[in-house]
Structure 1
């Protein structure tokens, strides 16, 4: 990718079941909205033990002071 701004945060989205935020690999943690479920089984062939499920609702997360959408 050429030009543009560098990412300010990165989340693996492999947080434990029951988590209410996504731990940041870079940047700040993102608090999950109601449509986010952590700790679901990862798809077959993926090496991470857990994944996140996003139900498609408009519920957003908060990262730092701004609003960021997971998904």
Structure 2
């Protein structure tokens, strides 16, 4: 189990290093993608909290697109 935790830690560090590299090289695009992912995740969680019987993908995609395009 300790080996798995170590591998997870290494993987997360690599992901974080890649994110920072992309943020330096492609600042605007990285911010747009990050904002879209966070906004889309937040919308999915909101729909679950509000008790939607089925996930409204159009709503999620449109709000994530708005966030990435205008706020990112």
TM-score by length of 2: 0.23
- Larger strand share, 1 or 2: 1
Bigger relative contact order (CA 8 A; separation at least 6): 2
- Larger helix share, 1 or 2: 2
